[in-house]
Amino acid sequence: MENIFCKYIDEIKGPDASAMQAALNRQESLAKPPHSLGKLEDISVKFAGITGKVFNSADKRRVIVFSADNGICEEGVASAPQSVTLAQTINFTRGLTGVAVIAKHFNTDLDVIDMGILSDFSCPGVRNEKIAHGTKNFSKEPAMTREECVRAMMTGVNAALRARDEGIEIFGVGEMGIGNTSTSSAVLSVILNLPAEDTVSRGGGINDASYIRKKTLIDSAIALHRPDPADPIDVIAKVGGFDIAAMCGAYIGAAWARMPVVVDGFISAVAALCAYRLNPLCAHFMIPSHASREKGYMLAMNEMGLAPMLNMDMRLGEGSGCPIAFEIVSCALSVIKNMATFEEAAIDDGYLQEIRENKAFQGEA
């Protein structure tokens, strides 16, 4: 199965430069000062590079939520009991969670996937792709085998391809798993060669003792397992989670299928960084949503050269920032398609020549 996964990684192509240039030309022709709509312009140009078309739509939207339990919770690093993973996974399907309410508000559907919840259960609306009943406690042994990690990653790839086949035009990745800020911090520490002190925050709100223990456990586990920073599969297998592996795979699938994919918060960003390390071209297909309050979030974003479009002090996870980003993306796509050109507005744009030649007014796609 790893050979199949690597094939997807190797076949990823970069953005369509000609479509991006055409989108830039279109933006320059619109009746406004150069780059006066800022990131809305950048988004439309990036979207063109993904799809190969200047005019696009983001009306058909989805958040894919991967749920899994984490063995490291045995060490008291989480503020909530593990039973919350199952409860919230079911609540996604009932429209009761943060992401479910926000998704409904923005006409976004959910694809909820059980990657490794402790309990066996049956719930309409939850797709059963369980790899195991939670990961192992990575403070004592590797979280999962390499084979399990690749299986989880391929589940993510397939979720992205399923979205494409069902007509989805943009999707985001979310998660549910008590303890997954610990796994994400551990993965980030390895990938960036940083101590846990630099990557660990308080997650759902742990107390001082648990916070100190969380950092100590992560540093000790990394020293014990010695994951290879150059091999994200090895890193996730040893100190990550099934949700992170699946999310990483979803980013790979999005890039392979040339679909725009929205990055949510901290855990989503760490998974995105893993995909980026597998193939840096993945970043061209990623659209960040909001800046997470978790300290490791910007470390991951900066490494990929990406910047969030919003800062709303959010730290819920679940993919809750994705539907908000979808609406901004949709707005950007509407502007490039529907705004009048100088010619259509009967305006002579000669007065803008000096501004156009000033790089300070030029944006980045």
20-72 pLDDT, tens digit per residue, is 999 999 999 999 999 999 999 999 999 999 999 999 999 999 999 999 999 99
Residue 303 and residue 350 in one domain: no
Tell me: do 319 and 347 sit in the same domain: no
The pLDDT value recorded for residue 324 is 98
- Can you give the CATH number for the domain in which 36 is found? 1.10.1610.10
- Higher-confidence position of 174 and 201: 174
Regarding whether 52 and 65 lie in a shared domain, the answer is no
**Does 43 share its domain with 182?**
no
CB 345 within 8 A of CB 29: no
For the segment 292-320, what is each residue's pLDDT rounded down to a tens digit? 999 999 999 999 999 999 999 999 999 99
**Residue 36, token pair as written in the block:** 């006066």
Domain that holds residue 226: 61-328
CA distance 224 to 240: 14
| 175 annotated active-site | no
User: What span, in angstroms and rounded, lies between the C-alpha atoms of 212 and 315?
Assistant: 20
Q: Dihedral through CA 32, CA 35, CA 39, CA 44, nearest 10?
A: 70
How many Å apart are CA 52 and CA 61, to the nearest integer? 19
Helical packing angle, 180-192 and 296-304, nearest 10° = 40
Q: How far is CA 138 from CA 26, 70, 113, 144, 145, in A?
A: 52, 9, 23, 9, 11
Angle between helices 208-225 and 232-239 (to 10 degrees): 130
* Eight-state DSSP code of residue 113: E
Q: Are residues 32 and 71 in the same domain?
A: no
**Which is the catalytic residue, given 148, 318, 354, 357?**
318
Average pLDDT, the chain: 96
Q: How many domains does the chain have?
A: 2
Q: Cite the DSSP H helix spans in 74-179.
A: 83-94, 98-105, 146-165
Do 201 and 276 lie in one domain? The reply is: yes
Take residue 110 and report the two structure tokens written for it.
Answer: 């959910």
Judge if 76 and 191 occupy the same domain: yes
Dihedral sign, Cα of residue 55, residue 276, residue 126, residue 316:
negative
What is the structure's pLDDT at 355? 67
Query: Which is higher by pLDDT, 81 or 355?
Result: 81
Q: Are residues 141 and 283 in the same domain?
A: yes
Instruction: Annotate 74-104 with b (16+ C-beta within 10 A) or e (fewer).
Output: ebebbbbebebbbebbbbbbeeebbbbebbe
The span from the CA of 171 to the CA of 160, in Å, is 8
User: What pLDDT is recorded for position 238?
Assistant: 99
Q: In terms of C-beta density within 10 A (0-12 exposed, 13-18 middle, 19 or more buried), how is residue 144 classed?
A: buried
Instruction: Report d(CA 295, CA 337) in Å as an integer.
Output: 38
> Quick one: 42 and 151 in the same domain?
no
Q: What is the CATH number of the domain that holds 146?
A: 3.40.50.10210
Residue 66 DSSP class: E
Q: pTM score, two decimals? A: 0.95
Per-residue model confidence (pLDDT) at position 159 = 99
183-235 confidence digits (pLDDT tens): 999 999 999 999 999 999 877 778 888 889 999 999 999 999 999 999 999 99
Task: With a cut of 60, say whether residue 365 has pLDDT above it.
Answer: no
Same domain for 40 and 185, yes or no, is: no
The set of residues, in sequence order, having a beta carbon less than 8 Å from that of 104 and lying 6+ positions away, is 95
Instruction: Judge if 94 and 179 occupy the same domain.
Output: yes
